[in-house]
């Protein structure tokens, strides 16, 4: 799937989203303005606002409403705000193959700029009009993000992450914002409740699949994701590929591996052994199987929508998430 093709298909609708984002980020403080422009020049795939506009058009059968563009832009602003904060929490030096703001300007600047993007996201949501339901959806997402980060931190310290813990973290940190992007889009064009529920579920499943794929990259030496291999291990994060490998290896070996992950700070040389364990015990295959299930379930949620090119792109987007190499 060519995401640029989708952007071209969306045409003026996509340009309005980009304009809403750039307008929101303008500042007369030179350092802030230049930094924001730099972040946007490495903005990634922008899947969340793309998802939002496709859903608004698929649900309405026409052009999105004015609120649709603001909600789509806000989803991207909020996403990048969390990345700026995450880079500080994880002490990340690179993001998307480029130096992080934290590494260039320091953690204080990264947090402050993240706060700026967060406020601009909320201003965009409020500017869309008096829609308490959408405000509550995004507010819940903000709470989910914070809780997910804290749960991940707690589990990393304890080394006892279970598969249910993993999925809760993934929902809170990734899928919740995917869902908010879709639900707000459906609400903006007055879609029926049943349609809102289905597209919200589609986006939630898509977000879970997106994160599983991202976690698989941590064990793929040839990954083009711009993410160094083994970062999750060094951060004591037990993700689905590792959980799958431990499930396939038996309890005794699983306990040994959990001990190695818990002690990785003192013994970073064990990273390669843990990565090899995941590959040798088909942890990647285990995670990929779960990912495929989520993609198939997500696609089935689109049955509620009338046939359209937008619906086809949403289906293609799901398969793209499951197969992407970066």
Give the residue, 220 or 225, on which the prediction is more confident.
220
Q: Is residue 224 part of a domain?
A: no
Best CA proximity match to 50, nearest among 23, 26, 69: 69
pLDDT at residue 43 in the model:
81
Q: Compute the distance between CA of residue 60 and CA of residue 306 in angstroms, rounded to an integer.
A: 10
Q: Is residue 127 part of a domain?
A: yes
The pTM for the full model equals 0.94
Q: Is residue 254 part of a domain?
A: no
pLDDT digits (tens, 9 = 90+) for 242-274: 999 999 999 999 999 999 999 999 999 999 999
Domain containing residue 160: 3-217+293-323
Residue-wise burial string across 79-109, b where 16 or more C-beta atoms lie within 10 A, e elsewhere: bbbbbbbbbbbbebeebeeeebbbbeeebeb
Could you give the 3-state DSSP secondary structure of residue 73? helix
pLDDT digits (tens, 9 = 90+) for 132-141: 899 999 999 9
CA of 116: how far to CAs of 24, 40, 100, in Å?
A: 10, 14, 16
Q: For a pLDDT cut of 90, what percent of the chain falls above it?
A: 88
Domain harbouring 183, CATH code: 1.10.600.10
pLDDT digits (tens, 9 = 90+) for 288-307: 999 999 999 999 999 999 99
Q: Is residue 238 part of a domain?
A: no
Q: Is residue 304 part of a domain?
A: yes
Q: Is residue 157 part of a domain?
A: yes
pLDDT at residue 224 in the model:
58
Q: Is residue 171 part of a domain?
A: yes
Contact 76, 117 (CB under 8 A): no
pLDDT digits (tens, 9 = 90+) for 140-197: 999 999 999 999 999 999 999 999 999 999 999 999 999 999 999 999 999 999 999 9
Tokens of 28: 């007369």
Per-residue confidence at 131, pLDDT binned at 50, 70, 90?
Answer: confident
Q: Is 220 left (phi over 0), alpha (psi -120 to 50) or beta?
A: beta
Q: Compute the distance between CA of residue 212 and CA of residue 287 in angstroms, rounded to an integer.
A: 7
How far does Cα 301 stand from its chain's mean position? 20
**DSSP secondary structure, 187-232, as one string:** HHTT--HHHHHHHHHHHHHHHHHHHHHHHHHTT-TT--SS--TTHH
Q: Compute the distance between CA of residue 137 and CA of residue 134 in angstroms, rounded to an integer.
A: 5
Q: What is the tally of structural domains in the chain?
A: 1
pLDDT digits (tens, 9 = 90+) for 307-318: 999 999 999 999
Residues 6 or more apart whose Cβ sits within 8 Å of residue 296: none
Best CA proximity match to 219, nearest among 199, 190, 244, 188: 244
Q: For a pLDDT cut of 70, what percent of the chain falls above it?
A: 98
Q: Is residue 182 part of a domain?
A: yes
Q: Compute the distance between CA of residue 271 and CA of residue 280 in angstroms, rounded to an integer.
A: 14
């Amino acid at each position: 799937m060519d995401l640029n093709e989708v952007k071209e298909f969306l045409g003026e609708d996509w340009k309005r989203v980009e304009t809403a984002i750039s307008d929101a980020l303008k500042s007369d403080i030179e350092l802030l303005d230049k930094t924001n422009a730099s972040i946007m020049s490495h903005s990634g795939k922008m899947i969340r606002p793309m998802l939002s506009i496709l859903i608004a058009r698929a649900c309405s059968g026409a052009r999105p409403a004015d609120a649709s563009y603001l909600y789509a832009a806000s989803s991207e602003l909020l996403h990048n705000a969390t990345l700026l904060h995450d880079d500080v929490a994880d002490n990340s030096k690179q993001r998307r193959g480029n130096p992080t703001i934290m590494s260039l300007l320091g953690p204080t600047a990264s947090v402050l700029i993240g706060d700026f993007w967060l406020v601009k996201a909320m201003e965009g949501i409020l500017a869309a009009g008096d829609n308490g339901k959408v405000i509550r959806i995004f507010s819940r997402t903000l709470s989910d993000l914070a809780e997910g980060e804290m749960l991940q931190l707690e589990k990393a310290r304890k080394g006892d992450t279970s598969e249910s813990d993993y999925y809760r973290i993934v929902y809170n940190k990734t899928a919740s914002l995917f869902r908010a992007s879709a639900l707000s889009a459906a609400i903006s064009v007055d879609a029926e409740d049943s349609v809102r529920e289905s597209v919200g579920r589609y986006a939630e499943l898509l977000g879970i699949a997106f994160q599983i794929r991202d976690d698989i990259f941590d064990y793929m030496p040839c990954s083009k994701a711009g993410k160094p291999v083994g970062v999750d291990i060094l951060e004591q994060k037990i993700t689905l590929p590792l959980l799958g490998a431990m499930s396939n290896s038996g309890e005794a070996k699983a306990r040994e591996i959990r001990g190695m992950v818990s002690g990785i700070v003192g013994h970073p040389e064990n990273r390669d052994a843990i990565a090899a364990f995941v590959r040798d015990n088909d942890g990647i295959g285990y995670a990929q199987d779960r990912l495929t299930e989520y993609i198939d379930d997500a696609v089935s949620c689109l049955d509620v929508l009338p046939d359209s090119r937008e619906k086809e792109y949403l289906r293609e987007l799901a398969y793209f998430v499951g197969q992407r190499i970066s």
